[in-house]
Amino acid sequence: MTSETKSPLQEMLQSNPHLAPLKVDYLYHLGLNTSMDLKGMFGDVKFVLMGGSPDRMLELITRASVELGLGKLIPVGCAIAPVGKHERYHLYKLGPIISVSHGMGMPSMSILLHEITKLMHYAGASDFTFIRVGTSGGLKVTPGTVVITTQALNGLLEPFHYSHVLGKTLKRPCDMDERLAAEIFACKGDIPAVLGKTMSTDDFYEGQARLDGYLCDYGPEDRFNFLSKCHEAGVRNIEMEAAEFAEFCTRAKVSGAVVCVAILDRLGASADQVTSTPEQLLQFNSNAISLVFNFIRSRLGL
């Protein structure tokens, strides 16, 4: 390291100098803290893969052990198990990969992003990439197609994320790393995938123009007009975390991508209800994971 290049820790202290006086920093929701050997545990991480559900993230890391040949790193007689506490998030680590659940919605995603990014910096990890590997509702996209986000939009179709801080509303850009999105897209092979904008909402039902929630104050025409307007604006899928993820990665200067499979077409026959069978959903999710694995293989030269 030259006198000009900063260590990951120095970079973080520049982002938030209030961390410097902490003797021990407790990453409360992960059940990890800086009195632990975080460098030994996580210093080699290059890919932080995040998805909503703990089960899916276990499936992902289990597949990585086989398909990326990382199983040889598991000592004989040991099995994959979550690291830290798993009351809120489930975090798995195998070789250069962390697979961690983020729960549903932007508040849950935000907490994970703060703690996982601090973890990467305390661990001295470098050149790491964050990827949200998730599910979404497509717009004129065949179920099973993976959408790689080029720009995140909020529920007002703006390329901004609003946060309330110290009693004020902050409007922050939620741009994606378009080069990374293109790099991932180039790894698609036979997997159905498109590049497109992603709208992130704070709700699954009214926030996504569904008619099948417990409450609903609009009709089918309003729903169709809004979803069509989203499609015309370049939106190809709708989910609940990309805007927060994009905003955080932009501010933290972390290279990040959102790779979500469409599990239904909101402008097609499947409308609002998710009617696919568990087997079909497994295959859809598998498409997103396979695409991310293709990208990891290409990055690692495997």
Binding site for ligand R2B (CB under 6 A): 52, 104, 134-136, 204, 239-241
52 binds, among ligand URA, ligand R2B, none (CB under 5 to 8 A by kind): ligand R2B
| Binds ligand URA by CB under 6 A, chosen from 58, 173, 191, 204 | 204
263 binds, among ligand R2B, ligand URA, none (CB under 5 to 8 A by kind): ligand URA
* Least distance CB 260 / ligand URA (angstroms): 8
Task: Give the binding-site size for ligand URA (rule: CB under 6 A).
Answer: 10
What lies within 8 Å, CB to CB, of 107 at 6+ separation is none
Nearer to ligand R2B, 187 or 260 (CB): 260
| Largest CA-CA distance found in the chain, in angstroms, rounded | 62
Nearer to ligand URA, 8 or 52 (CB): 52
* Least distance CB 298 / ligand URA (angstroms): 27
Measured distance CA(46)–CA(93) in Å, rounded: 11
Handedness of CA 38, 40, 41, 44 (dihedral sign): positive
Ranges within 98-137 binding ligand URA (CB under 6 A): 135-137
SS3 279: helix
**Stretch in the footprint of ligand URA (CB under 6 A) among 18-26, 159-167, 236-244, 284-292:** 236-244
The bridge status of strand 26-27 relative to strand 32-33 is: antiparallel
* Least distance CB 134 / ligand R2B (angstroms): 5
* Least distance CB 116 / ligand R2B (angstroms): 17
Residue holding tokens 């497509």? Answer: 138
180 binds, among ligand R2B, ligand URA, none (CB under 5 to 8 A by kind): none
Nearer to ligand R2B, 33 or 280 (CB): 280
Q: Residue 240, interface with ligand URA (CB under 6 A)?
A: yes
Q: Could you tell me the two tokens for 62?
A: 């289990």
Give the 3-state secondary structure of 42-98: HCCCCEEEEECCHHHHHHHHHHHHHHCCHHHHCCCCCCCCCECCCCCCCEEEECCEE
Measured distance CA(111)–CA(131) in Å, rounded: 16
45 binds, among ligand URA, ligand R2B, none (CB under 5 to 8 A by kind): none
Measured distance CA(208)–CA(240) in Å, rounded: 9
Measured distance CA(114)–CA(18) in Å, rounded: 14
Which spans of this chain sit near ligand URA (rule: CB under 6 A)? 135-137, 204, 208, 238-240, 263-264
